[in-house]
Every structure is written in structure tokens, then in C-alpha cells.
A and B are shown apart, each in its own frame.
Chain A
Amino acid sequence: MASTSTSETTHPVVFTTQTPYPLPSQKFMIPASWKRYQLSQLVNKALSLPKPIPFEFLVRGEILRGTLAEWCAEKGVGEEETLEIEYFESVMPPQRMSLLPHEDWVSSISCQLPGYFLTASYDGALRIFDYSQKLVQTIPAHAAPATSICVVPSSSAPLTTTPDSFLLASASHDLTARLTRVDLSSPEQPRAETLASLHLHTAPISSVAATSTHILTSSWDGFIGLWDTAIPENDEVPLDETVGEGQGRKKRRKVAGGEDGESAARPKRKAPAAVLKSHTARVSRVIFGRGADAKNAYSCGMDSTVRTWDVENGVCTSTITAANKPFLDLALTQSGNSALAASTDRTVCQYDLRVASSSATTPSVASLLHPATPSSVTVPPPVSSPSTAAEHQLVTGAYDGVVRLWDLRSTKGAVASFKAWDARESSGRKVLSVDWARGLVGVAGEGGVEVWKLGEGDR
């Protein structure tokens, strides 16, 4: 070691960490030619860990990718300067868990319900799979392609355990969103009943989001509908006003599953509590804020804006305007301070929501370049123990069929990526939706649904 240190240039380094594996806070002289692997071995040997844990190293907020000397040369840091290097456990390479086959494209997947995967498909059906890849229930909720699905959390029980009965909200091209009550109390005979259809939009609904009290729907007509979760007793919207008779009758027949003429079986037609109008073009995604921020909603649209809404008052409180970036998907980071928006110009941009936007265009904090159009973006759900790594992580799915894991501290390239469905074609098969919960990433798209194990998970 001594001989190498004399021949090689060394760099003074101080290691810090927030993991339960701290090194003594003293100055180390690290050879400049070392990479992540050597540093990780150093930490492992210094702590004499029983089981080797790979670490990632952050030099001044950037993940170290090459040698230390390369980083110093790039940043123009002198040899004498002491570098503070933070390390954290690196993400395990993703592993494919299971494949949930579908006949048609899957437009949306939700992993929020423990033990189950919920999918919405282009054939208009909602499907429920359990973790053993078994199709639990197929709900023909829509006559037209379903675009989005989410679970309406019940106010009594949080979504840590799966209740026997829960409410699903789904959106579709048939201009309605629907609320479906699923009862899984008897596994042999699960029951599903569509209780209400939400009538507001005059164009296909692109997304639906729900809290325990409210539901938001976004549509191509530029409106965002705000609904409460209560199931109405009677039709709030007259039938003839919205749907032509022929088509309406047919749709009802399909939904009701042949139970003709029974008013009880027919979903109640529900009117919105409020309509949020501010977008000038198609709204592609609407989401609620996290936790205490649930009174705020965020939406993105083809008019290149990300808007913040005050749900109670139904007004747009702030707008982030980007230049020529029609947005396709939106996610909030764990801290809830910034929004991640996927755009058709093949970037996923991070915007700081706290910045008061008065200027014409808001610059993005970070921009992640993709080789193909990113169609969906998701972040890991908040975990009780604060993890620095999860706070900066996100997963994007793109039209080239590749799902990428990013770390916002290293915007140059993805941390990890995998190709869904083992795409044989070079062009890949489009990923339309990704969802990440409990260490599982659900990938939905052209080839059906795949579940990959990613992140810390339930270790």
C-alpha cells in the first residue's frame, strides 16, 4: 500500500454516511485511480462487514462513475483539496419477478394495494392479480379502452394491509370514470360491482387519482373533474343529456353484464363536485399531493404546463410553464417539493414546486434525457425510515421498452435499466405505465405486465 501511495497520486478524502455503517470521521488518503468498486471494498473491509454490501459514492452530490482522478480533472479540483464523499447502499440490479399476460395492451398498473396488482387494459377490462400471478378478477368496467386505474383508499384503514373490500376508480376512453367496489372476502367467488360512473368530460379521460375523500379525473378536453367518493343514491346526471340513446343502452348492457332493466345494477350517474379549468390543452395526468399536502393537486398537460391546484377552492394556485414540452406523465418526489414530469421531447424534467412562477417559462432543476419518449414516471412510495437513496430515485418507462432507474443526483445517465418483455424487436415494445411500491416495479404496456424487483424492498 505504501509503495503504491508513493508512486500514485493520492487524494485526501473524508467519508460521511447516513447509513448504519459509518466510518470514523478522519481523513483518508485515497489513490486517485480508485473507482467505486475499490471504495466500496474499502468501506466493507474497514467495517469488516459479515456480508459485503455494495455502496455508491457521492462526491459533492454527484455519484462517482469513473475514477477519482477523472472526477477531479473534470471539476477542476486540486489534489490538495479535501473531498467529502458520502456513501449509501447501492441499488441492487433489478430482477424480474413475474409476468402477468394480457391479450391487449395494458395502459395502467397500480401496485398500491398490498398483495395485488391492478391493471387497466385497452380492451376496457380491469384485472386484479395477486402476487402469485393468478388472475383474481376481471371486471369489464368499460366499453372503450381503460386508461387509468387507482385504488380509492378507505378513510378508516390505511393501505398497509389489503382490506377485503375496496373501491377502484378507473378512467376510460368512453368519456367516463367509474367506481367499482371489489369484494375479495371469498377468494373462490370474488365479486365486483360498478357502482357509479362519473360524467363530466367530453373527451377521453386520461388519468384518475384518488384520496379517501376525493377523486380527480383529467381529460383530453382540458378539464379536471373533482368528485367526492360517496356513491350517489340516484342519477345526478340525466341519461339523455350526455349519451345518445343507442350507444347509451348498449354501454349499459355491457357494464351491467346482461342484467337488463334493473336499476340497482346500473351504475349511478355521478356529477362532479367541481371542475378545475385552467389547462388550454389536453390534461395528461393529475395527482394528489402526498400526505398532509393532500389538499393540493398537481396536473400536467399538453400545453406544456404543470399546474398546482387548491382542491378545496378549485383554483389553480401556481403554474410552471415549460417551452414546447407537452407533458405525458407527472410524479411528485418523496419530499413533495418538486415535480417530475415526462415530456414528449424525450426528457423527464424536475421542477421545483416551491418557486413562485412569474416568468414566462420556468427552468427545470434537472433534466433526464431519454433515447425514446418517456411515457411514465414514478417514485418509490414514502417509507417510514427516511432513506436518502429513495428520496432521489425515480423510475421511468419509455416507448423503447426500457425501464430506467434514475438518481436525481446523477442526471447524466440512468443508474440501472432493464428491458421489459425481453423484447426481441430492436424497437422494443412500448411501456405505458410503471408503478413502484414495496420494492416492486410493475411495468405495463404493449406486452402486458411485468413485475420486477427493485430497490430495498421488504428486506
Chain B
Amino acid sequence: MAAAEAKKLSKKRKAAPEEETSAAPPPSAFPQEVRLEMASEDEGEDGDASSDDGEVDEFPEIDARSDTEDEEEEGEDDESEEEDEEDEDEDEDESDASDESLHVWPKPKTVVSDITGQPKRVYPDIEPDYDSDSSTEDTPNRVGNIPMHWYDDLPHVGYDINGKKVLRPARGDELDKFLKTVEDPESWTSAFDKNMQMDKPLTAEELDIIRRLQENENPDANYDPYEPTVEWFTGKGKEEIMPLSAAPEPKRRWVPSKWEKQKVMKIVRAIRQGRIVPNKPKTASAQPQFYAIWNEEPSTGPAPPPAPKPRLPGHAESYNPPEEYLPTPEERAQWEATDPEDREREFLPQKYSALRLVPAYDNFIKERFNRQLDLYLAPRVQRTKLRIDPDSLIPKLPSPSSLRPFPVYKSLQVPHADVRVRAISVSPDGAWAVSGDESGVVRLWEVIVGKEVKRWTFKSKIGAVEWCPRTDVSFFAVGVEDHIHFIIPPNLPGPVLTATQNILAPANLPPPPANPSPVKWSSVPAAQSSSDTPILTLNLPSSPEPPKQLVWHRKGDYLASVSEGQGGVWIHQVSRRHSQAPFKKVKGTVQLVLFHPTKPHFFVATQRYVRMYNLAEQTLLKTLTPGIRWISSMDVHPSGDHLIVGG
């Protein structure tokens, strides 16, 4: 490659073989510059070397144009060219070498210094004569230091000092070139110098550089890649005696970093999932990064209002205020007790007899810090003061008298020794109460006095008592064991007693239902009935526990009973003397049941849910979840719209 280039160079030089004699040493003598020039020409002619000459004119390079003149001559005999060039180069090599010794950079000498004992370079002294400065030398071509390609298309190469055209020196034809290559062995190492307008032999140094480039070596001959190591900090005598750290080499120094792997894998995953777009267009670049703030027009709006003038200091601010401005101990205590935001003044007047006794401002740092926070626009807790009368926030309570009646006082207490009373019911007119205890005693009480009027004794504990809500008749139901007893209280007026007996023990029994239920209704005839024994008894299916709840429908015809176990819910109709179990199977144990006061609805409370059934259509209407762990009480408002559940 380098050889090919060298040939090209020599080819150019053929254009001005005449100027070779007057060839001056190259204007830039040191090897780097030469090399650079050649590199620039290399680029232009690279294509040339690999292809034929026909394409040369297509290159827009300046050098190519300068060659166009030559082409007319060169186009004829290509094959002879190379030999010519070789000859020329050989000639010029010698002259170059002589030139170099004369003019080019003075050669340094390497001597051993007397002082240091080290080798040093010594440059020859510059003799202050005419030859010492190359600028004073005559250049054979006196067109000046101009780009020579200006004149590539012209017959002359410039102008001399008198303004005359300097004509291009005539160059030998191809035959001369050929002959030159034959005759002159140096010719192939010479190149055409446009400034000199002649072929100039390459110096040995330049040839050496070419050779080095060709061999991919460092072009600087003086560069030694194998210089001995200068041990500035290590080596013999420079060992560190005290280690900086005795700690063993940590593992992370040689184990691949997991953290980095995780980080990388995170990014990789993000790229895979599309969260990170690798070559995302920068949207922010649309906006200018800098603004020329002074280019804006000055605002024409009204000037901002001036800052309020600070209040002039008064006597209280003085370091030596009059006595009357000093706070009393009570005022001081009150000032210290209030919050800083609420204080009327942010300081307390203090008295010093002399200004030099005034101490440093104690809040200085705090105020300065707050100022910094302000400048930093740091948000701080801002306490908005409420200008509300706290009394207005208190909801207005109704007066207790308007809420009456409510229980305020335990009027009566009837202690029962050794027995628990778990069932009580008050008669519809409120005059009587009936209670049942676990020893099987049912007592009738006169409510206002708290006197037991009558008692009935049963065999086992009373599960529930419930007074019939009807007012035209008067009786109550008692749940004991597997029975529900209906009892008429004593001292009833005649019509009520008769009506009650007719309901509970009618003279003509209603026809038995089509499908008989397991519940047996047995009553004592009205004539033999008394208030001492139950007039009517229901025999429920056997159950270990007595019915735990009895509840009447508001109209007093239906009675629902709840016993333990499955199928423990029964609805009894007194007028038809018929019982039925409304549910085949109920999820969970039934705690309570309740009749809706107006609609044919039935509430069943299990431990956690309240279910609402329509008895007429036999459908489940709603399931209420009150969120109570164990429902223990339930009632419905007499209007039938609201249900209250307690647990």
C-alpha cells in the first residue's frame, strides 16, 4: 500500500521534473508534518490505487484536479510510468539527504552529562549568519507560500515579485520519465513537490516512516515501546512496611456482585416488559434548556405593592425601658404559658442598665434557620387558628325531661334466693307480671306493689313465659319441658274469663287439620277449669331443654316456640288448635324468632344472621347480617319498619 502511494506521489512529480533541481527542502521538515500531508493525499488517492486510472477524474479532490493536466500525457502509457518514477525518486533521495543535513531541523547530539551522569541531548548552537535562518533562503520558486492548486488549470504557477507570471516549468514527456526510471535508481523514491514544481527524492527518514506505517509500527523511530519500568512507588526499598489495612481481602472483590446483577436484571426485565424503552426519544429536548431571561419585554402591569413598613420600635422594645413597660411576674408567666403563635408580642421587655450589658439575641439562630427554611420554600406546619366558639361545636342535647319517661330509679326488687329467674313477661295492661324460675315455679306479681299474688309449680325449669297480647282475653303461656301450658290468671271479670275459656277450651273443637302434626293439644273443659292448673297444654316433640322462647303474634292467635335442636321452631295457632313447623331444616341453631307486627313475615335469628321469611308465600325474603357474634335479643318496632338486634 505504502509503496503504491509512493508511486502515485512520484507520478505527480513527473509533471514538474524541471523544478527538481531547484527543489528546496520541504517546507515542513519534521516527520510528523510530512506524514500528515501524505495522509491527506492518501485519502484522496486511495480509490485510485485499487482501480484503474480512468476513474481518476471523478474524484473531486484538489489533487485529482491538479492531475488532470498530467493525464493527457499519462493516459497514453501507463505501464512505463512506474519505471520512470523509480528512477526519479532515486535521484531525489540523495539531494534530499543533502538538503536535510543542511537545513532541516538541527540534529541533536546525545552526550553524557557531566553533572548528572545521565545521557542528554545537546543541540548544536545556532550560528547567527545568513544560513542560520531558513526563512532568508532563496526559494527557487518565488511564487510565495500559496496553495499551489490555485494554478492547477493555468499555464503559470504564480507571480514573481515583479508581477510577472512564473510559467510552469516544462516537464519531460513520458519517455523522459521512463528513461529517468531506468537511469536513475533513486527515481522510484522521489515525489513531486508542487511548491518546488519538481520531483523531490524522499529522505531516508521519510522512507523509514513509510516503511513503519506499512508494517503497522509506530511511525516514530525514536519511540521505544519496551522502555524499562521506572518504579517510582514500588520495588525494592519502596515497600510499604505498614499495611494500610490488615483486613483480609473482602469477598466482594472477587465474587460477582449480586447487587449489580439484581440491578441489571431489573433493568433487563423492565426492558423486556417494555417499561423502559431503550432508545426513547427525548421529549424534554423540545424545550429549550436555557432561557434568555433578559430578552423578555419588561412587564407593563402595575408594580407590586410595596412591602408594609415595619412598625417603629416603642418603649417596650428598648433595652432600658421605663419600669411600667416591664412585665409583672403574672404577665411573664402568662406569656410563657401561651403558644408562640398566640402571643401578642414575641418578646418580653427586659431592662439593662447599659447597652453593653445586653446579651446576644437568643433567638438569632432559630430565626436565621427559619429564614433559611423560608428561602428554601420548605413547608412548615401551619396551625390555622379556629375562630369558632367551642360551645357551638357541641351538639345541642335535648333536655332530659323531653326524653321522659326513661328508667331513673329502681323502685322494687324482689330477691329470689338460690334460684335463677330467666323468664318474665308483663301483661298487656301492665298491671301484672309473670315470672318463671329454674326450679319450676311460675309466679304472678302485682307490678306496682311487687307482691306475689299467685304461684304455680311445675316439675322442671321454666324456659319461657309469655303473656298473650290480646286485651279482650287474658292468659299466658308457659314453656316447661316438652310442654307449653296456657294459664288463666285469677280474678278476671266474667266476660273476659268466659272469652278466654272459649278460646282455650272451646266447647266444639275445630275440625282436625288434614295433615296431623306431632304436637298434641289437650285442654281441660271450661267447666272444670280453674286458675290453679293449666287450661290448655301442648305436647311438643321431646327435647332435652324446655322451649327457650315463646313469642306471640301481635294479634294473639299465633304463638311461636323455639326449642333446642333441629326443627325446634313451631308455630301454634290457638284458634285452629293446630301446630306446624315452618322450617324443615334451618342452618345454624335458632336463637330467637319474631313475628312481624303487620305483615305475614317471620324473623328467625341464628347466631349471626337474621333471616326474614314470608310465611304466606313460604319464601326467604332477606338475610340480615348485623355483625354481632352472638345474637341474643331482637325486637321489631310496632310500625314494622325497623328491627333492633342486640348481641
- B partners with A: yes
Within 8 A of B (CB), among A314-372: 323-324, 328, 344, 346, 372
| Complex CA–CA separation, A282 to B429 (angstroms) | 10
Q: Is B527 an interface residue (CB 8 A)?
A: yes
Question: Is A380 among interface residues, defined by CB-CB distance under 8 A?
Answer: no
Q: Does B493 contact A144, Cβ atoms closer than 8 Å?
A: no
Contact present for B527 and A246 (CB under 8 Å): yes
By a CB distance below 8 angstroms, the chain A residues around B357 are none
A105 in complex: contacting residue of B451, B497, B527, CB < 8 Å: B451
Per the 8 Å Cβ criterion, residues 193-213 of A in contact with B are 201-204
Q: Shortest distance in angstroms between A452's beta carbon and chain B's nearest beta carbon? A: 22
With A144-B491, A432-B449 as contacts: A220 and B527 at CB distance below 8 Å: no
Give Cα distance in the complex from A220 to B493, angstroms: 12
Q: A175-B491, A175-B493, A247-B497 are in contact. Are A220 and B431 (CB under 8 A)?
A: yes
Asked if B132 lies at the interface with its beta carbon under 8 angstroms from chain A, I say: no
Asked if A430 and B450 make an inter-chain contact with CB atoms under 8 angstroms apart, the answer reads yes
CB interface residues, B 416-469, toward A, < 8 Å:
429, 431, 446, 448-451, 453
Q: Is A174 an interface residue (CB 8 A)?
A: yes
B409, B491, B495, B530: the one within 8 Å of A204 (CB): B491
Interface residues of B in 513-546 (CB under 8 A from A): 527-530
Tell me the chain B residues, 485-529 only, with Cβ under 8 Å from chain A. 490-491, 493-498, 501, 527-529
CA distance A328 to B493 in the complex (A): 23
Using known A-B contacts A144-B490, A144-B491, determine if residue A399 contacts B412 with beta carbons closer than 8 Å. Answer: yes
Q: Is the CB of B448 within 8 A of A328?
A: yes
* A244 part of interface (Cβ distance < 8 Å): yes
Contact pattern, A 401-444, Cβ under 8 Å of B = 1, otherwise 0: 00000000000000000000000000100101000000000000
Bound complex: CA of A202 vs CA of B471, how far in Å?
13
Mark out the residues of chain A between 229 and 249 whose CB falls within 8 Å of any chain B CB in the assembled complex. 240-248
Asked if residues A324 and B405 are in contact (CB atoms below 8 Å), the reply is yes
Question: Counting CB contacts under 8 A, is A122 at the interface?
Answer: yes
B residues less than 8 Å from A427 (CB atoms): 413
The distance from the CB of A446 to the nearest CB of chain B, in whole angstroms, is 8
By secondary structure, the B interface counts as loop
A341 to B618, alpha carbons, bound, how many Å? Answer: 55
B534 CB → nearest A CB, Å: 16
Within 8 Å CB of A112, what residues of B? none
Q: B453 contacts which chain A residues (CB < 8 A)?
A: 122, 145, 173
Q: Mark A173-205, 1 if CB is under 8 A from B, else 0.
A: 111000000000000000000000000011110
Contact between A145 and B494, CB atoms less than 8 A apart: no
How many B residues face the partner with a CB closer than 8 A?
Answer: 28
Shortest A376–chain B CB gap in Å is 11
Report whether B451 and A145 are in contact in the complex, using a CB–CB cutoff of 8 Å. Answer: yes
Given known A-B contacts A246-B527, A246-B530, A324-B404, A174 and B449 have beta carbons under 8 A apart? no
Chain A residues, CB < 8 A from B497: 244, 247
* Minimal Cβ-Cβ distance residue in A for B448: A328
On whether A173 and B411 interact (CB within 8 A), knowing A246-B529, A328-B448, A430-B449, the answer reads: no
Which A residues are CB-close (under 8 A) to B413?
427
**Is the CB of A373 closer than 8 A to any CB of chain B?**
yes
Contacts of A246 in B (CB 8 A): 527-530
In the complex the two chains form, what is the Cα distance from A173 to B412 in whole Å?
A: 21
A161: shortest Cβ distance to chain B, in Å? 35
A107–B451 alpha-carbon span in the complex (Å):
10
The answer on a CB contact under 8 Å between A203 and B409 is: no
Q: In the assembly, what is the distance between CA of A248 and CA of B493, in Å?
A: 11
Closest chain-B Cβ to A364's Cβ sits at a distance in Å of 15
CB-CB under 8 A from A399, the residues of chain B are 411-412, 450
Q: How far is the CA of A213 from the CA of B7 in the complex (A)?
A: 169
Q: Is the CB of B411 within 8 A of A344?
A: yes
Q: Which residues of the partner chain A approach B446 to less than 8 Å between Cβ atoms? A: 145, 173
- A241-B451 CB under 8 A given contacts A220-B431, A324-B405, A373-B411: no
CA distance A240 to B404 in the complex (A): 44
- A430: chain B residues within 8 A (beta carbon): 412, 449-450
Docked-complex contact B493 and A242, CB < 8 angstroms: yes
B494 pairs with A241, CB closer than 8 A: yes
A402 to chain B, nearest CB (A): 15
Residues in B with CB closer than 8 Å to A372 are 411
Chain B residues lying within 8 Å of A105, measured Cβ to Cβ, are 449, 451
Q: How far is the CA of A364 from the CA of B501 in the complex (A)?
A: 47
A173–B452 alpha-carbon span in the complex (Å): 13
Residue of B nearest to A375 (CB): B449
Minimum CB–CB distance from A326 to chain B (whole Å) comes to 9
Contacts of A328 in B (CB 8 A): 448
CA A203 – CA B428 in complex, angstroms?
13
B411 nearest CB neighbor, chain A only: A373
Give A241 to B498 CA distance when docked, in angstroms. Answer: 11
Other-chain contact of B409, A144, A346, A432 (Cβ < 8 Å):
A346
A247 to B529, CA, bound (A): 10
The A-contacting residues of B in range 201-245, CB under 8 angstroms, are none
Chain B nearest CB: distance from A48 CB in Å?
51
Cβ–Cβ < 8 Å partners of B493 in chain A: 175, 201-203, 242
Verify A244–B491 contact, CB threshold 8 A.
no
CB proximity of A371 to chain B, nearest CB, Å: 9
Contact B451 A242 (CB under 8 A): no
What distance in Å separates the Cβ of A441 from its nearest Cβ neighbour in chain B?
A: 20
Give complex CA distance A202, B499 in Å. Answer: 14
- Residue among A204, A346, A432 having the largest count of chain B Cβ atoms under 10 Å: A204
A244-B494 contact, Cβ under 8 Å, with A145-B451, A282-B431, A324-B405: yes
Distance in angstroms from B502 CB to nearest chain A CB is 11
Taking the closest CB of chain A, its distance from the CB of B543, in whole angstroms, is 34
- The CB with the most chain B CB atoms within 10 A, among A247, A346, A427, A432, is that of A247
Q: Are A242 and B491 in contact, with the CB atoms below 8 A?
A: no
Contact B431 A243 (CB under 8 A): no
The chain A residue with its CB closest to the CB of B527 is A246
B529 proximity list for chain A (CB < 8 A): 246
CB–CB B498/A244 < 8 A: yes
> Residues 401-415 of chain B: 1 if any A CB is under 8 Å from the residue's CB, otherwise 0?
100110001011100
What CA separation (Å) do A105 and B404 show in the bound complex?
Answer: 32
Bound Cα distance A399, B453 (Å) = 18
Q: Flag B299-337 by CB within 8 Å of A: 1 or 0 each.
A: 000000000000000000000000000000000000000
Q: Which residue of B lies closest to A328 (CB)?
A: B448
Q: How far is the CA of A220 from the CA of B527 in the complex (A)?
A: 28
| Given A105-B451, A324-B405, A430-B449: A243 and B494 interface contact (C-beta under 8 Å) | yes
Interface string of A236-267 (1 = CB under 8 A from B): 00001111111110000000000000000000
Is B494 within 8 A of A242, CB to CB? yes
B633 to chain A, nearest CB (A): 27
Contacts of B409 on A, CB cut-off 8 Å?
Answer: 346
Provide the bound-state CA to CA distance between A430 and B451, in Å.
Answer: 10
Once the chains bind, are A173 and B491 in contact (CB under 8 Å)? yes
With A and B bound together, what is the CA distance between A241 and B493 in angstroms? 10
Closest chain-A Cβ to B426's Cβ sits at a distance in Å of 14
Give the Cβ gap from B526 to chain A, nearest Cβ, in Å: 8
Give the residue name and chain of the B residue nearest to A242 (CB).
B494
Docked complex: A81-106 residues within 8 A CB-CB of B: 105
CB distance from A174 to the nearest CB of B (A): 5
CB distance from B423 to the nearest CB of A (A): 24
Q: How far is the CB of A343 from chain B (nearest CB, A)?
A: 12
In the complex, what's the smallest C-beta–C-beta distance from A271 to chain B, in angstroms? 15
Alpha-carbon distance between A244 and B502 when the two chains are bound, in angstroms: 12
* Other A-B pairs beyond A346-B409, A372-B411, A427-B413, 18, CB < 8 Å: A105-B449, A107-B449, A122-B453, A144-B490, A144-B491, A145-B453, A174-B491, A203-B431, A240-B494, A242-B493, A242-B494, A244-B494, A247-B497, A282-B431, A323-B401, A328-B448, A399-B411, A432-B449
- What are 5 A-B contacts with C-beta separation under 8 Å? A144-B491, A203-B429, A244-B498, A328-B448, A432-B449
Q: Which 9 A-B pairs have the closest CB atoms?
A: A202-B493, A244-B497, A242-B494, A144-B491, A243-B494, A173-B491, A373-B411, A174-B491, A244-B494
Residues of chain B touching chain A, judged by Cβ–Cβ distance below 8 Å, are 401, 404-405, 409, 411-413, 429, 431, 446, 448-451, 453, 490-491, 493-498, 501, 527-530
